[in-house]
């Protein structure tokens, strides 16, 4: 998968945060089924890019709070 700048930055920051602080950094994503049509286009684009990371298996959504966390696949993609 080829990442755009924002996707790469999100994953790199998540990997760096865990390496530095030992804590998985939460990544904001939409709750399943939430409509973003009334939000600014930039936010809609961001949400679409984060959904692509979820679909690729690079981040995993927490169904309860609208956050996702980097997966081992995401870490491996950034580290290689």
What is the model's pTM? Answer: 0.86
Mean pLDDT of 30-54: 85
3-state SS of the chain is CCCCHHHHHHHHHHHHHHHHHCCCCCEECCCCCCCCCCCCHHHHHHHHHHHHHHHHCCEEEECCCCEEEECHHHHHHHHC
Which of 13-17, 27-31, 34-38, 56-60 shows the lowest per-residue confidence on average (mean pLDDT)? 34-38
Q: What is the pLDDT of residue 32?
A: 72
* Domain architecture of the chain: domains with CATH: 5-79 (1.10.10)
Mean pLDDT for all residues in the chain? 90
Percent of the chain topping pLDDT 70: 99
């Amino acid at each position: 998968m080829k990442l755009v700048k924002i996707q790469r930055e999100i994953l790199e920051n998540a990997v760096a945060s865990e390496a530095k602080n030992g804590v998985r950094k939460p990544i904001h994503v939409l709750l399943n089924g939430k409509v973003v049509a009334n939000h600014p286009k930039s936010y809609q684009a961001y949400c679409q890019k984060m959904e692509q990371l979820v679909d690729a298996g690079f981040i995993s959504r927490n169904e309860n709070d609208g956050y996702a966390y980097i997966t081992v696949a995401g870490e491996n993609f950034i580290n290689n």
